Homo-oligomer: A and B are copies of this chain.
Amino acid sequence: MKSISRRELITHAGMALGGAVTATAFLGACGGSSQATAETGSSPQVADFPYRKFIPAGYALDKKAVQESAYQFYWAGGCGHGAYKALMQHLAQTVGAPFSLLPLDACMYQGGGIAGYGSICGTVNGGLVVINSIVADPKARTAMMTDLLRWYEGTAFPSYVPAAINASEKATLDFSAANISRLQVVPHSHLCHASRTQWCQKNGVAAASPDLAARCARLAADVAGKVVDLLNGYLASGSYTATLALDSTSAGCVGCHTSTRLNESVASGMRCDSCHPTKTTNHPL
């Protein structure tokens, strides 16, 4: 007897429904175990990377479900954990193997800009790992990652309003839907410490405050939601073209400081002005 995998089931159902079905909706109706695929002879393996080929046609991640999970998981393991686990657990539950064979606690180390070091924001870092696990074409992968980093640098955070406030949250500021826009700050940097300091400065709180934690939990949801948008676009079309250009100030910098000149040569896609304000205003000639 040939057993049929969960992936094949989804693929067939997706095709039968014109490819527009979401895996979440379909699996909710069917039930069944996400381990089914692993029991077949040709089960997907973790080493058979990346995993686009294991995702059925017509599949789309459920943004709302992922965002609420990202907010909730933040409180169990930090920002990178929130974004990564929400996305990867959703893929495990709706696609099955090989996503269901991966460790869901693998991105706790990314919290606070890698082990609290203040480097790359964990929500972005966790999202990058998920994009990387799916997208095979290096050009599409680079474009998606560049857009995620650039979108982060230029977006006012946080936006997400949780369906249920986590019991660990001890915010003193008003993060309600009616007020959240008043708390938002554009980070202009994808580095944790810069993003964090600027948000705290505007809102009159400390970097180690419960309000900052409440902000970062919502940030995990915002970034995980953006990753859902990027992945759903890529999965639907099979390709991805970058949509965000470098800001005009930084474009001016790297217009002269190219990666091919011999003096003060620069290879970067980051915003220049957040770290180098004295170079971007009153530039020495």
> Which A residues contact B (CB, under 8 angstroms)?
45-50, 101-106, 108-109, 112-120, 128, 131-133, 138, 141-142, 145-146, 149, 190-193, 196-197, 200-201, 204-209, 258-270, 275-276, 278
Contacts of A128 in B (CB 8 A): 109, 114
The listed residue (B191, B206, B269) touching A261 by CB distance below 8 A is B206
Assess A145 versus B276: contact at CB under 8 Å? Given A207-B267, A266-B193: no
Q: Which B residue's beta carbon lies closest to that of A266? A: B197
Query: Do B116 and A142 have beta carbons less than 8 Å apart?
Result: yes
State A232–B267 Cα separation when bound (angstroms). 34
Contacts of A47 in B (CB 8 A): 101-104
The listed residue (B109, B149, B264) touching A114 by CB distance below 8 A is B149
Query: Do B265 and A149 have beta carbons less than 8 Å apart?
Result: no
Contacts of A206 in B (CB 8 A): 258-262, 265
**Copies of this polypeptide in the complex:** 2
State A122–B283 Cα separation when bound (angstroms). 30
- Can you list 27 pairs linking A and B with CB atoms under 8 Å apart? A45-B101, A46-B46, A47-B104, A109-B128, A109-B132, A114-B120, A114-B145, A115-B145, A116-B146, A116-B267, A117-B270, A118-B270, A119-B120, A119-B190, A119-B191, A196-B267, A197-B265, A197-B267, A201-B265, A205-B262, A206-B258, A206-B259, A206-B261, A206-B265, A207-B260, A208-B260, A275-B276
State A50–B145 Cα separation when bound (angstroms). 26
Query: Do A268 and B101 have beta carbons less than 8 Å apart?
Result: no
Query: Do A259 and B101 have beta carbons less than 8 Å apart?
Result: no
Query: Do A264 and B119 have beta carbons less than 8 Å apart?
Result: no
Assess A269 versus B146: contact at CB under 8 Å? Given A46-B103, A103-B47, A208-B260: no
Q: Which B residue's beta carbon lies closest to that of A77? A: B138
State A263–B206 Cα separation when bound (angstroms). 7
The listed residue (B115, B145, B190, B268) touching A109 by CB distance below 8 A is B145
State A268–B198 Cα separation when bound (angstroms). 13
Which of A113, A119, A120 has the most B CB atoms < 10 Å from its CB?
A: A119
New A-B contacts (10) at CB < 8 Å, excluding given A117-B269, A119-B120? A113-B268, A115-B145, A116-B267, A117-B270, A119-B190, A192-B268, A197-B265, A201-B263, A205-B262, A206-B262
How distant is A29 from chain B, measured CB to nearest CB, in Å?
Answer: 27
